[in-house]
Amino acid sequence: MWKRMLVPVVAIWILCTLGGGAAAQVLNIAIPQDPDSFDPIKTVAAATSEVAFNIYEGLVKATPDGGVEPALASHWTVDEEGTRYTFYLREAFFHDGQQVTVTDVVTSLNRARDPELAVRAGELDMIKEVTGLEDAVQIELFEPNSAFLYLLTEIYASIYPAGAEDLSRKPVGTGPYYLAEWRPNQSLELRRFEHHWSGQVPYFAQVNFLIISDENSMVLNLKAGRVQLIPRLEVSVLHQVANSPGIKVQASPMNLVQLFAINNARPPFDDQRVRRALALGLNREEILIGAAWGQGILLDSALSPAMAGFYNDQLGEVNPYDPEQARELLRAAGQENLRFTLTLPANYPLHVQTGELAAQQWERLGLKVDLEIVEWGTWLERVYTQRDYDVSIIGLAGRLDPHSILVRYTTNSSRNFFNFSNTRYDELIELGIRAQGEERRAIYLEAQEILARELPGVFIMDPQQLAAMDERIQGWRSYPTYVVDLASLYQ
């Protein structure tokens, strides 16, 4: 053990003394946690996709504005029924030097939809068959599905060599960077891939993701110059960097939907008037400032404005702050003295603070709120899985396609821990998955309006993602998904 430690120590010491000149092309990024696994079909942690976005690519990939652009497929065609997609492969190479073949693509995609292997296989269950042609891959769907193309940008649809082994720690992809070393709890070292199919070579030759779990330490490391970029700065330490010379902060919507989940199946919350009273009694402006230092955008329904193509911006007046009307609704429902439990997940300071502020506001209506702060494991078990709660709070991560976000509120969804049920809404989501273009957009606008009026929960805000960086770093691009795009950065 001792010898093993001595070698890196000496090596690093030598590098530190020699490496002054090369430092210009090294970028150090602070993240709070290690990835869970680099096997695309096993990983579930957002921390992994953030890093792996730069290592793996699919047939297509996400763009910063929420669209889809060609990646390993140079172009694709869809037949008239909308069920047969043909993706034409371009000449591309894996990090290990092998050329990407049709077999690699077919194997990767079949592995991703195999329920025996893949954790999220269910998300690709619209695929009937994947077949390899000469220089293309044909994917046949059971029925038309407008979300399908977006799902191909997810990490589980990444392409890797058919015979690859031990991907969980040794990923092999086609992305602009490859993983050179992973030292758990310490750092991930990425190096740029010189043979990317685009012919472009990223500016930074080496990128280190340093694991720093304490947010104050992250800021000090940025100020001391040990890291140059914190992609997700905790809002509670924003004031420490806000006016620091040499540091800039770029804010963008996270595409996260923070909401008070209400157990719609449990009386008296099965009464829409009670749920609406909770919404009207909430001064969300005050919460935005009190809990998030004003760094967020108020939400009226289940989509963030970051979902530009589908966001319904007409819902601002549906649930205004109106304590008088809230009291009236409670009286009408016979619940003026309602007492309920608000369950908060302890590991999310933003949610806990939001919950505490909301509890005070609801008590001003004459309600009695019992706060219960639970560990994340307990939250997932009791609130999310067993649906044993009154009111809780959570942030639901954004996806590229509205269907993946909105399907959660349908009656039969296993992720519908609100126990929300609305027949028209279920119909709309069914229709939306087959519709295209303007028609699809109109369907989702109506779906959002139903959620705003019927209230599976009270929508709060989309917190800002705060990227703090050395002011010399240029080219930061924010995405509606949880990624850091290294290839676009330079200084």
Partner 1 sequence: MKRYLWRRAGGFLLTAVLVSAATFFVLQVLPGDPALLMLGTEGSPEAYARLRQELSLDQPLLQRYLKWFSAFLAGQWGNSWRYSLPVRELVGQAFPLSFVLALLAVGSAALAALPAGMYMAVRSDRLGSRLLSLFTQVGLGLPQFWVGILLIQFFAVQLRLLPAGGYDGWRSLILPVATLALPRTAVLGRFLRAGVLEVLGQDYVRFARSKGLSGTTVLFKHVLRNAALGPLTAAGVQFAQLVAGTIVVEQVFGLPGLGQLLLNGVFQRDLPLVQTAVMLVVLVILAFDLAFDLCLGMLDPRIRYE
Residues that bind partner 1 (CB under 8 A): 1-2, 4-5, 9-10, 12-13, 16, 33-34, 36-39, 42, 44-45, 115-116, 119-122, 168-169, 183-187, 210-214, 216-217, 220-221, 223-226, 347, 375-378, 380-382, 384-385, 394, 396-397, 414-415
Q: Which residue stretches of 212-322 are H helix? A: 215-223, 238-242, 272-280, 284-292
Asked if 192 and 201 touch (Cβ cutoff 8 Å), the reply is yes
Q: Least CB distance from residue 52 to partner 1, whole Å?
A: 13
Q: How far apart are CA 60 and CA 174, in angstroms?
A: 12
Q: How far apart are CA 58 and CA 46, in angstroms?
A: 17
3-state secondary structure of 326: helix
Give the distance from CA 33 to its chain's centroid: 15
Q: Looking at beta carbons only, is 394 or 443 nearer to partner 1?
A: 394
Q: Least CB distance from residue 221 to partner 1, whole Å?
A: 4
* Residue 79 exposed, middle or buried by CB count within 10 Å (0-12, 13-18, 19+): exposed
Q: How far apart are CA 269 and CA 260, in angstroms?
A: 13
3-state secondary structure of 425: helix
Q: Least CB distance from residue 229 to partner 1, whole Å?
A: 15
Q: Looking at beta carbons only, is 79 or 471 nearer to partner 1?
A: 471
Q: Looking at beta carbons only, is 65 or 214 nearer to partner 1?
A: 214
Q: Looking at beta carbons only, is 119 or 126 nearer to partner 1?
A: 119
Q: Looking at beta carbons only, is 212 or 428 nearer to partner 1?
A: 212
Q: How far apart are CA 369 and CA 361, in angstroms?
A: 10
Read off the tokens for 268. 């008296």
Q: Least CB distance from residue 217 to partner 1, whole Å?
A: 5
Q: Least CB distance from residue 231 to partner 1, whole Å?
A: 16
Q: How far apart are CA 68 and CA 280, in angstroms?
A: 38
3-state secondary structure of 351: helix
DSSP string spanning 4-38? HHHHHHHHHHHHHHHTTGGGGGEEEEEESS--S-S
Using only C-alpha atoms, what is the Rg of the chain?
A: 24
Q: Least CB distance from residue 382 to partner 1, whole Å?
A: 8
End-to-end CA distance of the chain: 40
Q: Least CB distance from residue 37 to partner 1, whole Å?
A: 4
DSSP letter at 193 equals -
Q: Looking at beta carbons only, is 33 or 110 nearer to partner 1?
A: 33
Q: Looking at beta carbons only, is 283 or 304 nearer to partner 1?
A: 304
Q: Looking at beta carbons only, is 212 or 359 nearer to partner 1?
A: 212
Q: Looking at beta carbons only, is 39 or 426 nearer to partner 1?
A: 39
Q: Least CB distance from residue 78 to partner 1, whole Å?
A: 27
In angstroms, the Cα distances linking 202 to 193, 397, 470, 486 are: 8, 29, 18, 8
Q: How far apart are CA 417 and CA 73, in angstroms?
A: 37
Q: Looking at beta carbons only, is 202 or 395 nearer to partner 1?
A: 395
Q: Which residue stretches of 336-389 are H helix? A: 349-363, 376-378
Q: Least CB distance from residue 418 to partner 1, whole Å?
A: 12
Asked if 418 and 407 touch (Cβ cutoff 8 Å), the reply is no
Nearest to 253 by CA among 463, 459, 63, 47: 463
Q: Least CB distance from residue 27 to partner 1, whole Å?
A: 15
Q: Least CB distance from residue 168 to partner 1, whole Å?
A: 4
Q: Residues with Cβ < 8 Å from 22, sequence gap 6 or more? A: none
Q: Looking at beta carbons only, is 22 or 332 nearer to partner 1?
A: 22
